[in-house]
């Protein structure tokens, strides 16, 4: 195969992975094992998984992708990253090549800010991470205007910076980019330009990361896309084992101090951002409001896949169920399957059906059979677990809730015809429990002996 | 005149075909309309077999669907439940109704329901979408308000006007194909309650008088034919059902042009009395149909052993 065919294969692969990201966020490949596999290659949301030590069949893949730059450089950034593809496409339209770079210690500082806060229970990477922000962008129409909208637009702006500086986002803010770059500087095999270079400047003018100056490649910014290698008319770009030149103690100290500062400030960030919990129902699998808020990066992947659209976020970016939009569908585990961070744990569907995310309660001063003496039973009709029973009240049937059976799915609240304040509403469970199941199946009565 | 064997065969074939056609001409073509039964009750076979026998006893699909007409088949697809849970109409039955309507010459056969659960899940899990497509029918969505038109309900006191799905208003023929179930709010769901699925705002019913609204809605238009699926019947915890323990195998089907009459008979299948379902009396008072089982001409067809 010709070297140069790489020049069209790479955009093709990138486009494919962009399409995959759309398919994953919008639930088109819901439940397929490779959908989870696909999510696990994106370092940041997946790495946070390791922090919670939750069981996940694919975290080995995440580790593989973590150490991939040590072997072959930032292949993820150049070939698989959807945000990278968008920037490359923009840079094709117009960009300036000044070989400008963001100081590496600053990038390391941002990375360790994420790591530091993660250790103290706040997923700060959510502010910077490409995959999380991509999700926000996809889900922008599903949340009220607020923090997530602002972050999504800001992210879009950062991608747009490629019009002035190629891959500015990747080589400034992106935690995955910085982590991979740090590892790549120790990569076993790297790109380098040999002395046979004729200095024609072709590679400099085409490099998607604008990281070539003279005949040297800046490995903190190189994304290992191999374009220079494929383009070079003299075959002077080589891809081989290479000893990195020592940077000197000063450079190391600067980078290390960036890391230490980030680690130190991360927890402070965590303390500052957390706190002030809204009284809200969170998705089944979230376990408890506290745990869920710590782990959720508000990437809105659950929001995008939710078939009833009950999942949304408030203006501060807290993912929650809004029963004025819909209800939590009984036969559905879309959000449990979609969460890349493990904030929503993946329970089997049958277990999810009994997770108690809240409890319904009837306000008899508003409820139609109680207050107006007419039949209604809209809540009873839709209850999937038989928690809303009907009792005789004169001529009519009036609803009554058995709280121990109620799972808090909100079907009753959504169906309730009383406006504007509903007569039946769900009170959130701060810590999720398990609801009793109506005696279905056949325990029967009496003994067989 | 010399006639070849081929010509003779042709003529003979023509005569036979003509005779066949004549014999199939309905008697009403000669002014002696056969009094078709008001209600056909069929028992003892699969939903599709019950329907085939039932519609034959009722005069055939050709009595209701003419060539070139647009037909709406309205099953119950309200719930994200599988056919074995009997919360939605049996998909094979719906497909058979669609197929027969097409064979009777219908130009288009549309199927929809304003589902309670998410439409896509209901259409899929009920098996109805796939079955209808295979039979040549057209599934239509009912989850957008833009498909509904505001109409006055002539004579409606509680339900004076409603947003009604345009297909229910515009199709030449409406075939109502509900499934019989116990119903907490409505006491029973059958032909009349099933029509709530062509209305946009079901909360209005609950808010302003469920029984009255169910009774008054057919004033805008009655279905031309009702096929009530009572094969597997949810006798308690309806309309959603908690488990298959709520179901009883009745192997029955009721067919009638009179939706009140079919529902009245259906109360008996659920071991109830017609008086226990308030909207039946209201509808009968509005002259939407008859509750008089004694006066009605009922044909009972038993299939199987």
**Partner-chain residue, chosen from B120, B183, B237, that has the shortest CB–CB distance to A307:** B120
Q: Which of residues 323-342 of A touch B (CB under 8 A)?
A: 329-332
Q: Chain B closest CA to A25's CA: distance in Å? A: 18
Spatial CB neighbours of B24, under 8 Å, sequence gap ≥ 6: none
Please indicate whether, in this complex, the C-beta atoms of A376 and B243 are within 8 angstroms of each other.
no
Q: Smallest Cα–Cα separation from B255: which of B54, B27, B48, B29?
A: B54
**Partner-chain residue, chosen from B118, B203, B278, that has the shortest CB–CB distance to A329:** B118
Residue of A nearest to B183 (CA): A381
Radius of gyration of chain B (CA): 21
Q: Which tens digits make up the pLDDT trace of A228-276?
A: 999 898 888 888 776 666 677 888 888 888 888 888 887 777 665 655 5
Q: A384 CB near a chain B CB, below 8 Å?
A: yes
Which residues of chain B are at the A interface, by a Cβ-Cβ cutoff of 8 Å? 80, 116-118, 120-121, 125, 183-186, 202-207, 209-211, 237, 239-240, 242-243, 245, 278
Spatial CB neighbours of A141, under 8 Å, sequence gap ≥ 6: none
Q: Which tens digits make up the pLDDT trace of B185-195?
A: 999 999 999 99
Residue of A nearest to B125 (CA): A331
Q: In whole angstroms, how far apart are CA B100 and each of A290, B128, B131, B196?
A: 58, 16, 13, 25
Asked if the model's pLDDT at residue B12 lies above 70, the reply is no
pLDDT score for B106: 98
Higher pLDDT residue, B196 or A38? B196
Please indicate whether, in this complex, the C-beta atoms of A331 and B211 are within 8 angstroms of each other.
no
Contacts B126 to A, Cβ<8 Å: none
Phi, psi of A84 (to 5 degrees): -65, -40
How far is it, in rounded angstroms, from Cα A44 to Cα A62? 9
Q: Which two tokens stand for residue B217?
A: 């809605």
Model ipTM? 0.83
How far is it, in rounded angstroms, from Cα A254 to Cα A318? 36
Helix (H), strand (E), coil (C) string for B265-290: HHHHHCCCCHHHCHHHHHHHHCCCCC
Report the interhelical angle of A82-93 vs A130-138 (nearest 10°): 80
Torsion, CA A285, CA A288, CA A289, CA A290, rounded to 10: -130
Q: Which two tokens stand for residue A83?
A: 């945000």
Asked if the model's pLDDT at residue A422 lies above 90, the reply is yes
Q: Which two tokens stand for residue B62?
A: 């050709």
Report the interhelical angle of B91-103 vs B128-135 (nearest 10°): 20
One-character DSSP codes across A258-307: HHHHHHHHHHHHHHHHS------B--TT--BHHHHHHH-----HHHHH-S
Dihedral sign, Cα of residue B142, residue B143, residue B145, residue B146: negative
Please indicate whether, in this complex, the C-beta atoms of A331 and B121 are within 8 angstroms of each other.
yes
Q: Which tens digits make up the pLDDT trace of B22-68?
A: 554 554 444 455 689 999 999 999 999 999 999 999 999 999 999 99
Structural domains of chain B, with CATH: 1-34 (no CATH), 36-302 (3.40.50.11440)
Please indicate whether, in this complex, the C-beta atoms of B121 and A329 are within 8 angstroms of each other.
yes
Please indicate whether, in this complex, the C-beta atoms of A381 and B211 are within 8 angstroms of each other.
no
Q: Smallest Cα–Cα separation from A329: which of A343, A311, A308?
A: A308
Asked if the model's pLDDT at residue A429 lies above 90, the reply is yes
pLDDT score for A3: 81
Neighbours of A359 (CB within 10 A): 21
Q: Which tens digits make up the pLDDT trace of B109-148?
A: 999 999 999 999 999 999 999 999 999 999 999 999 999 9
Q: Residue B94: enclosing H or E segment and its boundaries?
A: helix B91-103
Q: Which tens digits make up the pLDDT trace of A51-93?
A: 554 555 566 788 888 888 888 889 999 999 999 999 999 998 9
Q: Chain B closest CA to A406's CA: distance in Å? A: 13
Q: How many CB pairs under 8 A join A and B?
A: 73
How far is it, in rounded angstroms, from Cα B36 to Cα B16? 28
Q: B174: number of CA atoms within 13 Å, CB side?
A: 25
Burial of residue A143, with CB atoms counted within 10 A of its CB: 0-12 exposed, 13-18 middle, 19 or more buried: buried
Q: A383 CB near a chain B CB, below 8 Å?
A: yes
Q: Chain B closest CA to A374's CA: distance in Å? A: 6
What percentage of chain B's residues is helix, strand, coil (to nearest 5)?
A: 40, 20, 35
Please indicate whether, in this complex, the C-beta atoms of B203 and A417 are within 8 angstroms of each other.
yes
Strands B173-177 and B70-75: parallel
Residue labelled with tokens 């009179």: B258
Neighbours of B17 (CB within 10 A): 10
pLDDT score for B29: 47
Dihedral sign, Cα of residue B148, residue B154, residue B155, residue B160: positive
Asked if the model's pLDDT at residue A177 lies above 90, the reply is yes
- Confidence label for B152 from pLDDT (cuts 50, 70 and 90): very high
Q: Which tens digits make up the pLDDT trace of A280-306?
A: 899 999 998 888 888 888 899 999 999
Peptide bond into A55 cis (omega under 30): no
Q: Which tens digits make up the pLDDT trace of B268-295?
A: 999 999 999 999 999 999 999 999 999 9
Residue of B nearest to A398 (CA): B185
Q: Residue A137: enclosing H or E segment and its boundaries?
A: helix A130-138
Q: In whole angstroms, how far apart are CA A162 and each of A100, A127, A220, B42, B52?
A: 12, 19, 17, 72, 67
């Amino acid at each position: 195969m010709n070297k140069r065919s790489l020049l069209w294969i790479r955009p093709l692969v990138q486009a494919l992975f962009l399409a995959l990201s759309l398919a994953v966020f919008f639930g088109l490949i819901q439940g397929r094992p490779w959908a989870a596999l696909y999510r696990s290659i994106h370092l940041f949301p997946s790495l946070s998984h390791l922090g919670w030590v939750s069981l996940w069949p694919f975290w080995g893949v995440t580790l593989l992708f973590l150490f991939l730059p040590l072997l072959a450089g930032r292949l993820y950034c150049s070939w698989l990253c959807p945000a990278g593809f968008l920037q490359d496409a923009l840079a094709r339209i117009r960009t300036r090549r000044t070989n400008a770079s963001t100081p590496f210690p600053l990038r390391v500082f941002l990375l360790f800010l994420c790591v530091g806060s993660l250790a103290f229970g706040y997923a700060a990477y959510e502010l910077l991470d490409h995959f999380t922000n991509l999700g926000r962008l996809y889900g922008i129409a599903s949340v009220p205007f607020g923090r997530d909208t602002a972050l999504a637009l800001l992210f879009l702006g950062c991608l747009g910076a490629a019009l002035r500086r190629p891959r500015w986002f990747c080589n400034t803010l992106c935690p995955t980019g910085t982590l991979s770059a740090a590892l790549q500087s120790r990569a076993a095999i790297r790109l380098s330009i040999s002395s046979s270079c004729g200095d024609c400047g072709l590679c400099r003018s085409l490099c998607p990361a604008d990281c070539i100056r003279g005949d040297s490649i800046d490995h903190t910014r190189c994304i290992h896309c191999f374009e220079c290698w494929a383009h070079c008319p003299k075959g002077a770009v080589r891809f081989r084992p290479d000893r990195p030149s020592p940077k000197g103690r000063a450079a190391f100290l600067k980078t290390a101090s960036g890391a230490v500062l980030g680690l130190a400030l991360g927890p402070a960030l965590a303390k500052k951002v957390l706190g002030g919990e809204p009284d809200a129902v969170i998705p089944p699998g979230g376990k408890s409001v506290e745990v869920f808020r710590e782990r959720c990066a508000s990437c809105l992947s659950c929001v995008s896949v939710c078939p009833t659209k009950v999942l949304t976020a408030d203006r501060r970016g807290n993912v929650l169920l809004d029963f004025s939009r819909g209800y939590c569908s009984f036969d559905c585990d879309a959000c449990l399957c979609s969460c890349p961070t493990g904030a929503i744990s993946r329970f089997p569907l049958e277990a999810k059906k009994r997770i108690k995310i809240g409890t319904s309660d009837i306000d008899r001063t508003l409820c139609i059979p109680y207050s107006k003496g007419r039949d209604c039973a809209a809540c009873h009709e839709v209850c999937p677990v038989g928690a809303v029973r009907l009792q005789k009240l004169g001529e009519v049937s009036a609803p009554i809730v058995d709280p121990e059976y109620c799972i808090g799915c909100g079907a009753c609240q959504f169906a309730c015809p009383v406006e504007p304040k509903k007569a039946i509403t769900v009170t959130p469970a701060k810590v999720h429990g398990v609801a009793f199941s109506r005696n279905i199946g056949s325990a029967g009565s009496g003994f067989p002996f | 005149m010399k006639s070849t064997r081929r010509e003779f065969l042709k003529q003979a074939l023509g005569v036979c075909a003509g005779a066949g056609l004549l014999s199939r001409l309905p008697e009403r073509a000669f002014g002696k309309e056969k009094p078709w039964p008001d209600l056909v009750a069929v028992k003892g076979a699969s939903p599709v077999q019950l329907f085939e026998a039932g519609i034959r006893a009722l005069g055939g699909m050709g009595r209701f669907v003419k060539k070139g007409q647009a037909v709406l088949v309205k099953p119950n697809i309200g719930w994200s439940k599988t056919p074995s849970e009997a919360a939605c109409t049996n998909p094979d039955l719906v497909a058979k109704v669609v197929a027969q309507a097409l064979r009777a010459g219908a130009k288009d056969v549309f199927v929809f329901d304003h589902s309670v659960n998410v439409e896509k899940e209901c259409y899929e899990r009920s098996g109805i979408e796939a079955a209808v497509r295979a039979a040549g029918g057209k599934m239509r969505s009912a989850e957008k308000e833009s498909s509904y038109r505001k109409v006055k309900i002539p004579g409606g006191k509680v339900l004076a006007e409603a947003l009604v799905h345009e297909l229910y208003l515009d199709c030449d023929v409406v075939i109502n194909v509900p499934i019989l179930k116990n119903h907490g709010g409505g006491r029973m769901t059958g032909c009349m309650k099933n029509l709530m699925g062509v209305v946009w705002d079901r909360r209005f019913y609950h808010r302003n008088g469920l029984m009255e609204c169910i009774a008054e809605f057919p004033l805008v238009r009655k279905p031309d034919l009702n096929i009530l699926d009572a094969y597997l019947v949810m006798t308690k915890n309806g309309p959603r059902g908690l488990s298959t323990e709520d179901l009883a195998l009745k192997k029955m089907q009721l067919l009638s042009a009179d939706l009140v009459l079919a529902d009245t008979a259906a109360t008996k299948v659920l071991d109830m009395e017609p008086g226990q379902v308030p909207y039946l009396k209201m509808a009968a008072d509005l002259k939407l149909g008859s509750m008089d089982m004694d006066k009605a001409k009922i044909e009972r067809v038993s299939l199987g052993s």
